C-alpha cells in the first residue's frame, strides 16, 4: 500500500476536461509495466498490458481520472469570481467552503458566506453554485492577472491517511485509479492467460464521455469499471438504503440507474472471491452510473460490471474510505484477471 501515491492522486487537481496532471501520474506509474499505450483524441489513456495471446479472452479494466469540481465562469468588476459545477455537487455542500483556484498560481479562496448576524432568517433552500460569489481577497487587478475564465477550481482539502482510513476529496475516482495502478504494477504478466487492457478515462463525471470511445480501440469481451461507490451506512438510515458498508470489502454491482451488470460475470467474480476468501458485498440500486454502462453498449459491447471501494460522502470536500477495503479490492481484481480464462458462460 503506497500512502504517498494515494495522497498524490487525491491532492492533484483534475476536473473534467483538465485531467492532464493526473494523466502524467498514471503514465509514470505503469508505463514500464505495459507493452504499449495510446492517448486518444479525448485524452483517455489506453494501455495494452501484455502481448496479444491469440484466441484468449480480452478484458478491459477502467478507472476515470476526473473528479467533480468547478471552472471559473465570470470575474466581477471587484475581482470576485463565479464558477459553474462540473459533475453532481449538492449546493448545500458548497456554501462557505474553501476552494483552490488553479490559475497561473495556486490561489486559495472561499465561497462567500453571509454572517448569521445579518442573514435572512426566513430564507430557505441553498443558493445555486453558479450564483455564489467566490472571494479570494485579492485586488481586482491582480485577480485578472492570475485567473482567467475556464481555470479549474477544486475543494481545498488535503488527503489524510491514518488510523486505517483515508479522508479526502476526489476519492471518486482516485481510489479506483489507485486500485488499477497497484494491480497492474503487482500482477505477473507471465501468468496472464488473457489479453489485458487498462484505461484511465476522462470526463466520466460529465456523462461517461471518455468511455464511449474506448471500446472501439480494445473490443473487450469483459470490462470492469473501478469506482468509489456510495456508502450510506450511517445511524438512522433504514437498512435497505445503506447500500455498501465500509469494512465489508468491495462492492460487486448488480444494477444502477443505467446498468444491469452481466450476471454470469458477476457470478464469476463472486466465486473467485469465495475461493480466495475475500470479503465482498452485492448492491442493487436504481441510482448513479459508471463507465461500465458505456463499455456494455458501445462498439460490439462487452460483459460489463462494476467493482468498487465503499466511500462515505461522495462528491464532497471530505469523503471517507478504509484501507482494508482498498486492499481487498486489489486482491479480488487481481484474482479476477488471472483466472478470467476459466470463465464459463451460463
CATH number at residue 307: 3.40.630.10
d(CA 19, CA 179): 18
119/184 same-domain check: no
- Give residue 86's pLDDT band: very low, low, confident or very high (50, 70, 90): very high
Residue 206 or residue 119, greater confidence? 206
285/219 same-domain check: yes
User: Is residue 118 over pLDDT 90?
Assistant: no
79/202 same-domain check: no
83/222 same-domain check: no
d(CA 34, CA 51): 9
- Taking the CA atoms of residue 345, residue 35, residue 32 and residue 30 in that order, the dihedral angle to the nearest 10 degrees is -40
105/207 same-domain check: no
pLDDT digits (tens, 9 = 90+) for 165-197: 999 999 999 999 999 999 999 998 889 999 999
pLDDT digits (tens, 9 = 90+) for 23-49: 999 999 999 999 999 999 999 999 999
141/204 same-domain check: no
- Give residue 152's pLDDT band: very low, low, confident or very high (50, 70, 90): very high
Overall number of domains in the chain? 2
Domain-embedded: residue 50: yes
Domain end marker among 124, 155, 186: 155
Report pLDDT for 190.
Answer: 85
Domain end marker among 120, 155, 190: 155
Domain-embedded: residue 163: no
Please state the separation of Cα 161 from the chain's center in Å. 18
61/83 same-domain check: no
Report pLDDT for 1.
Answer: 80
User: Is residue 116 over pLDDT 70?
Assistant: no
C-alpha cell at 26: 498514471
Give the DSSP letter of residue 79.
S
127/174 same-domain check: no
| Domain range for 35 | 3-67+169-342
d(CA 299, CA 278): 33
Domain-embedded: residue 160: no
What is the mean predicted confidence (pLDDT) over 213-219? 94
At 128, which CATH number?
2.40.30.40
Q: What residues have CB less than 8 Å from 138, skipping those under 6 apart? A: 79, 107, 146
Domain-embedded: residue 250: yes
Owner of C-alpha cell 459545477? 85
Domain-embedded: residue 148: yes
Domain-embedded: residue 162: no
Domain end marker among 94, 126, 155: 155
Average pLDDT in the chain: 95
d(CA 343, CA 346): 9
pTM over 0.75: yes
Domain-embedded: residue 161: no
User: Is residue 332 over pLDDT 60?
Assistant: yes
User: Is residue 289 over pLDDT 50?
Assistant: yes
130/149 same-domain check: yes
125/213 same-domain check: no
pLDDT digits (tens, 9 = 90+) for 227-277: 999 999 999 999 999 999 999 999 999 999 999 999 999 999 999 999 999
What is the mean predicted confidence (pLDDT) over 105-115? 88
What is the mean predicted confidence (pLDDT) over 58-78? 97
d(CA 278, CA 272): 8
Report pLDDT for 117.
Answer: 46
Q: Which string of DSSP letters, residue by residue, matches 182-233?
A: HHHHHS-GGG--SEEEEEEES-GGGTSTGGGGTHHHH--SEEEEEEEEEE--
Report pLDDT for 120.
Answer: 58
Q: Are 269 and 336 in contact (CB under 8 A)?
A: yes
Could you give the residue numbers annotated as active site? Answer: 204
Domain-embedded: residue 216: yes
212/334 same-domain check: yes
274/193 same-domain check: yes
Amino acid at each position: 500500500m503506497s500512502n504517498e501515491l494515494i495522497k498524490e492522486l487525491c491532492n492533484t487537481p483534475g476536473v473534467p476536461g483538465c485531467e492532464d496532471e493526473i494523466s502524467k501520474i498514471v503514465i509514470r506509474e505503469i508505463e514500464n509495466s505495459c507493452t504499449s499505450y495510446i492517448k486518444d483524441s479525448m485524452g483517455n489513456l489506453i494501455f495494452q498490458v501484455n502481448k496479444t495471446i491469440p484466441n484468449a479472452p480480452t478484458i478491459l479494466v477502467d478507472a476515470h481520472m476526473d473528479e467533480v469540481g468547478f471552472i471559473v465562469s465570470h470575474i466581477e468588476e471587484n475581482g470576485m469570481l463565479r464558477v459553474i459545477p462540473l459533475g453532481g455537487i449538492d449546493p448545500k455542500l458548497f456554501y462557505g467552503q474553501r476552494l483552490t483556484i488553479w490559475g497561473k498560481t495556486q490561489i486559495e479562496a472561499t465561497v462567500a458566506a453571509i454572517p448569521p448576524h445579518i442573514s435572512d432568517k426566513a430564507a430557505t433552500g441553498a443558493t445555486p453554485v453558479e450564483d455564489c460569489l467566490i472571494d479570494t481577497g485579492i485586488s481586482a487587478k491582480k485577480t485578472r492577472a492570475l485567473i482567467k475564465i475556464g481555470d479549474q477550481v477544486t475543494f481545498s482539502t488535503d488527503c489524510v491517511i491514518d488510523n486505517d482510513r483515508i479522508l479526502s476529496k476526489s476519492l471518486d475516482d482516485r481510489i479506483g485509479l489507485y486500485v488499477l495502478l497497484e494491480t497492474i504494477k503487482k500482477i505477473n504478466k507471465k501468468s496472464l492467460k488473457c489479453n489485458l487492457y487498462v484505461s484511465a478515462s476522462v470526463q466520466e463525471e460529465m456523462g461517461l464521455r471518455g468511455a464511449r470511445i474506448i471500446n472501439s480501440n480494445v473490443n473487450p469481451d469483459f470490462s470492469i469499471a473501478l469506482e468509489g461507490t456510495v456508502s450510506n451506512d450511517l445511524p438512522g438510515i433504514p437498512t435497505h438504503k445503506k447500500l455498501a458498508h465500509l469494512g465489508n470489502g468491495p462492492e460487486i454491482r448488480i444494477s444502477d440507474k443505467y446498468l444491469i451488470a452481466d450476471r454470469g460475470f458477476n457470478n464469476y467474480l463472486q466465486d473467485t472471491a469465495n475461493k480466495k476468501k475475500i470479503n465482498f458485498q452485492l448492491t442493487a440500486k436504481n441510482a448513479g452510473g459508471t463507465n461500465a454502462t458505456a463499455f456494455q453498449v458501445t462498439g460490439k459491447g462487452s460483459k460489463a460490471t462494476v467493482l468498487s471501494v465503499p466511500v462515505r460522502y461522495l462528491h464532497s470536500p471530505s469523503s471517507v474510505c478504509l484501507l482494508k477495503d482498498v486492499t481487498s479490492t486489489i486482491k479480488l481484481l487481481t484474482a479476477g484477471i488471472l483466472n478470467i480464462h476459466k470463465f464459463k458462460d451460463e
